[in-house]
């Protein structure tokens, strides 16, 4: 047989019996390689779509959390912008390095992640303060236009939980929402009423020197740093003053708010 008439390697391979070990291994390898290439190509093609879907899901989750806070949905609609969330290391005023919104609950189950407050520090009557807190930021372009801060403390009858919103200057209250309270019905429990909460937007928290001035007045507000007191509920009014002043102070969110003012978020 002439050399030109000899079958090439491919033809010789095809001529092998289907149950040939060589042919079986070669076909299996070819199928595996082809599948690997297709899967890799699909992964590369779909990665931007998957990333966008995850971002959309996270955004929807964040918005759902915030809109579940009474009164905050309307505030967000008025403010506009893009909502995001971050866990803050309260001592540093920076984003936490090892704790995320997903792992926050587990982190706070560890007593090591709480700070005991001395009598002179514990304005809010908490006893101890978590080292981490999840906050929400609303952005208008690159600028933070609104921050939403969870706050809590001791009221007259029990714990009060709330959410405090500040405008982009970190010095003007945009709104307050009471999320949990057990104050006296008809008296201290009126902190949940819209008539009282509507007095907060526009209230300043610090003067030009940076001194924290916010107060719930004993009667009608007498300055831009005050909101009206609740008639017959002096103790609850005083508790709200202490709670808000604590969380805006050095043992609360003050380091974080200063970082926002410096443009670090």
**Binned average pLDDT, 10 residues per bin, the chain of 265 residues:** 60 71 75 75 56 45 59 71 90 95 95 95 96 92 90 95 93 93 94 93 95 94 95 94 97 96 92
DSSP, collapsed to helix, strand or coil, labels residue 48 as helix
Q: What's the DSSP call for residue 172?
A: B
Please give the pLDDT value at position 3: 53
Name residue 94's beta-bridge partners.
89
Whole-prediction pTM value? 0.74
- DSSP alpha helices (H): ranges in the chain? 9-15, 21-67, 72-79, 104-108, 194-197, 234-247, 254-261
Please give the pLDDT value at position 60: 53
CA–CA separation, 62 and 163 (whole Å) = 15
Please give the pLDDT value at position 51: 40
Contact yes or no for 135/93 (Cβ under 8 A)? no
- DSSP alpha helices (H): ranges in 68-190? 72-79, 104-108
Please give the pLDDT value at position 20: 76
Phi and psi, residue 116, nearest 5°: -75, 135
DSSP, collapsed to helix, strand or coil, labels residue 128 as strand
Q: What's the DSSP call for residue 184?
A: P
């Amino acid at each position: 047989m002439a050399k030109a008439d000899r079958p090439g390697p491919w033809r010789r391979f095809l001529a092998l019996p289907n149950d040939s070990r060589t042919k079986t291994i070669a076909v299996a390898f070819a199928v595996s390689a082809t599948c690997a290439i297709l899967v890799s190509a699909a992964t590369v093609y779909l990665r931007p779509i998957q990333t966008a879907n995850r971002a959309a899901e996270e955004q929807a989750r964040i918005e759902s959390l915030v809109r579940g806070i009474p009164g905050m949905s309307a505030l967000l609609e008025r403010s506009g912008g893009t909502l995001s969330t971050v866990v803050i290391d309260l001592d540093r005023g920076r984003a936490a390095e090892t704790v995320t919104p997903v792992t926050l609950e587990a982190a706070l189950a560890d007593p090591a992640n709480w700070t005991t407050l001395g009598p002179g520090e514990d304005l809010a009557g908490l006893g101890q303060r978590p080292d981490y807190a999840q906050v929400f930021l609303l952005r208008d372009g690159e600028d933070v236009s609104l921050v939403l801060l969870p706050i809590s403390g001791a009221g007259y009858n029990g714990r009060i939980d709330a959410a405090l919103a500040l405008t982009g200057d970190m010095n003007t209250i945009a709104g307050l929402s009471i999320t949990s309270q057990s104050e006296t019905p008809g008296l201290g429990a009126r902190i949940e009423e819209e008539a009282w909460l509507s007095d907060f937007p526009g209230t300043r928290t610090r003067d030009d020197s940076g001194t924290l001035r916010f107060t719930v007045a004993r009667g009608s507000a007498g300055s831009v740093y005050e909101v009206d007191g609740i008639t017959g509920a002096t103790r609850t009014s005083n508790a709200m003053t202490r709670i808000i002043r604590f969380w805006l102070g050095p043992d609360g969110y003050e380091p974080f708010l200063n970082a926002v003012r410096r443009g670090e978020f």
